[in-house]
Amino acid sequence: MQIVKSSFIIFVFIQILFSCGSSNGESNNKKIVSIGTSTVLAHSYSNTTKINTKHLTLDLDIDFVNKTVYGVARHEMENHGSDTAIFDIKALEIQKVTIGNGNEHETDFIIGKKDDLLGQPLFVKIKKDTKFVNIYYKTTDKTEALDWLDPKLTEGKKYPFMYSQGEAILTRSWIPIQDVPSNRITYSANVKVPKDLLALMSAENPRNLNPEGKYHFEMRQPIPCYLIAIAVGNIAYRKLGPNCGVYSEPELIQKCKYEFVDMPKMIGAAEKIYGKYQWEQYDILLLPYSFPFGGMENPRLTFANPTLLAGDRSLVSVIAHELAHSWSGNLVTNAAWEDFWLNEGFTVYFENRIMEELYGKEVADMLAIIEFQELQSEMKTINEGEFPEDTQLKLALTNRNPDEGMTSVAYVKGAFFLKTLEQKVGRELFDKFLKLYFKENAFKTVTTEGFEKLLNTELLKPNNITFNTKEWLYAKGLPSNCIHLKSQRFEDVQTLADRFASGEDLFKVKKSKKRKKQKKSVLTRDKFSTQEWLAFIRHLPTKMDPKQLQKLDDKLNFKGWGNSEIQTEWYVLGIHSGYKGIKPNLKKFLNKIGRRKYIAPLYQALSENPDDLIWAKKVFIKAGMGYHFVTRSSVIEILYPHKEHVETKK
Ligand code: BES
Ligand code: ZN
């Protein structure tokens, strides 16, 4: 580190004290007070109201041997006269910091106290007119955003793979940055990778290998920094439409082409509802199985989980969801993580509209009901837990991990709020309002209060409509006017589930005398869609006789179905029922898949029984090595709630 002048040390020292919460009294120095309060509230130490990045240029060298990114983050900043620039870092090694563009010279910097959640503030001494700050750094083995996969964890098994996950506050663990959703930046990147691998980012992307392994990226539209993303691997490309296509390992590219064939239609449907797609190109990158989410809406390049390749296009609503984020989330962004429902609730609502447009209302309603069931059960858990106020749309996440806001409240209560509003005002007026919302706020951030105001002035007041908006946004639970959806097809399978549970043999093959034909059994695999099977399994009693479950498996093979939604549902029921027959398949599943939505409930169910818990811990020791940090840390919380030491680091 540079030798730091004493006045800078004292200035920074006071700020560190403040930002660590050890000062709550009056201070004569207003500058310090404002920095301290605003930043920690927003899950960031940065002082973006004083000085903020406008454009970021990244020089990155991706070293697979050491699983390290060597980088320079060149921040072009808007400085309102500040003599300190504060960035967020987490588990990064900072080598030096310079100021200037072209003519760089080193400057003093100090790294503040470590916080397990937020990381550390990086204070850089600048001049009141400094515009360029360049941070030389490298990632470490504690970097949480990056997943480095050995070849054996990829489909092809020959090449390594690396990808990033930035949302919510992990970008600071691979780039020193002002990690707040409310600051939008454009970015460029020069990336060097091994010659036989392709690099991709959430930017304008290459389609072919560069013989020297050098790639240049531009993201010309301003984005919040949680959307900066990178992936490097043995990756092929196929076009699916005029402005869309899919990237994946070559071994899976044909399957991707089949599964995602409706992408151009989805883009068309979305544009028809809420206006032009603003990001030129829309591609999907299918990641390896360790990817912790179903999808992540990195602009121009949605990251997708390979479990979406169900083979029958039954899980494509996840693609509709990530595409919808191109409007809600990426174009209009939640100002803080407390407003997360503005990203996800809008997106689930919009996703459902896209699904309705493509596959009809019956299918869209079934999807929404499945989600609503999840909301009801999660609300129950939240109500019984430490933070019952988490059933509000507007969240209180100070001193908490923003990940804790990632519940179906933001997603499904948010979407049902918008559905209820739509029902109240009519689709025509509602769409007109939402179009305006996206247009007025394009490339901006919005708070819940800002949305509420716009809703009142542009939709409710002019049309003389009264609506319990405040209750929906700021009160716990589900308001009684919540729209109620019904599905005849679900009711039919639920009746079958009741009949099966009460002992009726639904697999008996009846012979019809008249036609001399054999009548098929009532339950056959191809008779129902994925969502109907989910509704069927969910409707069975939460604890069943294992023999009955065995019978269903003998006839329908839920345990080896190859559809991850059905498998998860089935395994959870199996675990609760003490049905040992699932164990070999369950073990395979836990070893292969890293999507948290599936993995966490399985470990949760296993942890509820002492023998299963021992088994789960054993499985996790090996399987956990293949998970991304996001999933691994959630599983550790489930299996080791008392924070016993666990060695799972790769
Ligand atoms: N943006 C989210 C994923 C996310 C949220 C990552 C918060 C980190 C913090 C993404 O769009 C998402 O919601 N994925 C869902 C898809 C589903 C709701 C269709 C998932 O992965 O399950
Ligand atoms: Zn989402």
**pLDDT for 493-509, tens place per residue?**
999 999 999 999 999 88
Residues 6+ positions from 58 with CB-CB distance below 8 Å? 71, 72, 73, 74, 175, 187, 188, 189, 190, 191
pLDDT, average across residues 275-282: 98
Considering the domain architecture, whether residues 67 and 205 belong to the same structural domain is answered as: yes
pLDDT, average across residues 314-336: 98
**According to the model, what pLDDT value does residue 520 have?**
74
Confidence category of residue 514, pLDDT binned at 50, 70, 90: low
Considering the domain architecture, whether residues 450 and 339 belong to the same structural domain is answered as: yes
615, part of any domain: no
323, part of any domain: no
293 lines ligand 1 (CB under 6 A): yes
Do the Cβ atoms of 307 and 598 come closer than 8 Å? Answer: yes
Q: 306 C-alpha vs ligand 1 centroid, how far in Å? A: 15
Q: 105-106 and 146-149 as β-strands: parallel, antiparallel, unpaired?
A: unpaired
Domain range for 97 is 7-234
List Cα–Cα distances, 357 to 92, 224, 336, 350, 487, in angstroms: 46, 30, 31, 11, 18
- Return the H-helix or E-strand segment holding 415: helix 414-425
Considering the domain architecture, whether residues 219 and 344 belong to the same structural domain is answered as: no
Q: Which of 269, 213, 219, 261 is nearest to 241 (CA)?
A: 261
Q: What percent of the chain has pLDDT over 70?
A: 91
Considering the domain architecture, whether residues 335 and 230 belong to the same structural domain is answered as: no
d(CA 404, CA 397): 8
- Return the H-helix or E-strand segment holding 218: strand 214-224
Task: Read off the tokens for 473.
Answer: 């946004």
Considering the domain architecture, whether residues 345 and 229 belong to the same structural domain is answered as: no
Confidence category of residue 299, pLDDT binned at 50, 70, 90: very high
Considering the domain architecture, whether residues 348 and 204 belong to the same structural domain is answered as: no
Atom 14 of ligand 1, nearest CA residue? 295
d(CA 350, CA 44): 30
List Cα–Cα distances, 576 to 102, 499, 541, 545, 601, in angstroms: 63, 20, 10, 10, 11
**According to the model, what pLDDT value does residue 32 have?**
31
Considering the domain architecture, whether residues 63 and 209 belong to the same structural domain is answered as: yes
Could you give phi then psi for residue 371, rounded to 5 degrees? -65, -40
Respond yes or no: is residue 579 known to be catalytic.
no
19, part of any domain: yes
Cis-peptide into 168, omega within 30 deg: yes
Confidence category of residue 3, pLDDT binned at 50, 70, 90: very low
pLDDT, average across residues 22-33: 31
For every residue of 18-85, DSSP letters joined together read HHTT---S--S-HHHHHHHHHHHHTT----TTTEEEEEEEEEEEEETTTTEEEEEEEEEEEESS-SEE
Considering the domain architecture, whether residues 230 and 336 belong to the same structural domain is answered as: no
d(CA 187, CA 298): 13
**According to the model, what pLDDT value does residue 648 have?**
55
pLDDT at 418 over 60: yes
Considering the domain architecture, whether residues 230 and 86 belong to the same structural domain is answered as: yes
Catalytic residue among 137, 247, 411, 437: 411
Q: What domain count does the chain have?
A: 2
367 lines ligand 1 (CB under 6 A): no
Placement of tokens 């549970």 in the chain: 501
By most ligand atoms within 8 Å of CB, the mutation choice from 179, 296, 350, 412 for ligand 1 is: 296
Task: Read off the tokens for 63.
Answer: 């070293």
Confidence category of residue 512, pLDDT binned at 50, 70, 90: low
**According to the model, what pLDDT value does residue 28 have?**
31
Mean pLDDT of the chain: 93
**pLDDT for 120-139, tens place per residue?**
999 999 999 999 999 999 99
Considering the domain architecture, whether residues 221 and 367 belong to the same structural domain is answered as: no
**According to the model, what pLDDT value does residue 2 have?**
45
- Own/partner contacts of 496-505, CB < 8 Å, gap of 24 or more, are 496/522, 496/523, 496/536, 497/536, 497/537, 497/539, 497/540, 498/539, 500/540, 500/548, 500/552, 501/540, 501/541, 501/544, 501/548
357, part of any domain: yes
**According to the model, what pLDDT value does residue 19 have?**
46
CATH at residue 377: 1.10.390.10
Which ligand 1 atom sits closest to the C-alpha of 403?
Answer: 9
89, part of any domain: yes
**pLDDT for 53-112, tens place per residue?**
999 999 999 999 999 999 999 999 999 999 999 999 999 999 999 999 999 999 999 999
pLDDT at 17 over 60: no
pLDDT at 237 over 80: yes
CATH at residue 190: 2.60.40.1730
Amino acid in position 614: I
Q: 579 C-alpha vs ligand 1 centroid, how far in Å? A: 31
Q: What percent of the chain has pLDDT over 90?
A: 90
**According to the model, what pLDDT value does residue 271 have?**
98
594, part of any domain: no
526, part of any domain: no
Atom 15 of ligand 1, nearest CA residue? 294
Which ligand 1 atom sits closest to the C-alpha of 305?
Answer: 21
Domain boundary, last residue among 417, 440, 474: 474
Considering the domain architecture, whether residues 74 and 187 belong to the same structural domain is answered as: yes
d(CA 296, CA 488): 33
246 lines ligand 1 (CB under 6 A): no
296 lines ligand 1 (CB under 6 A): yes
413, part of any domain: yes
Respond yes or no: is residue 70 known to be catalytic.
no
d(CA 265, CA 267): 5
Domain boundary, last residue among 474, 508, 524: 474
Domain boundary, last residue among 474, 494, 515: 474
Other Cβ atoms closer than 10 A to 373: 17
Helix and strand counts by DSSP (H, E) for the chain: 20, 23
Considering the domain architecture, whether residues 230 and 104 belong to the same structural domain is answered as: yes
325 lines ligand 1 (CB under 6 A): yes
